[in-house]
Amino acid sequence: MIFGIGVDIIEIERVKRAVLRSPRFLGQVFTAAEIADCAQKADYFASLAARFAAKEAVSKALGVTMWVQKWQQIEIRQTEQVPTVILKDDMLAVSEKLGIVKISLSLSHDKTQAIAFVVAEQ
């Protein structure tokens, strides 16, 4: 049964500016594994932006407000050519309390924008 859905779209240039303006931004928002995954992609900043949108979409699907310290508790990894959501710590506890058994994620981007769509199921 669907518990919630979330969608988020972001301008890739916005993420690029944030990374270039403040290198700390990467470590505050993304895990080391996410940064390494994106570094393997043809368009590094588009990949980061898609993951940023995914984190927002996950929080919307779960009905959770994001705080800066929570960003790394939602990790977006590429497994078997499919983007996968890995929840940690407080975010994992929230999803378990809500009875979430599956989170499906779709990512996409073009030259200027990245989008993520999430379905959380109980």
pLDDT per position as a tens digit, 2-60: 999 999 999 999 999 999 999 899 999 999 999 999 999 999 999 999 999 999 999 99
Q: Looking at the predicted structure, is the pLDDT value of residue 99 above 60?
A: yes
pLDDT at 80: 79
Q: What DSSP state is assigned to residue 24?
A: H
Can you spell out the DSSP letters for 38-86?
A: HHTSSSHHHHHHHHHHHHHHHHHHHT----GGGGGGEEEEEETTEEEEE
pLDDT at 23: 81
Please report, in angstroms and rounded to a whole number, the separation of the first and last CA atoms in the chain: 5
Annotated catalytic residues are 60, 109
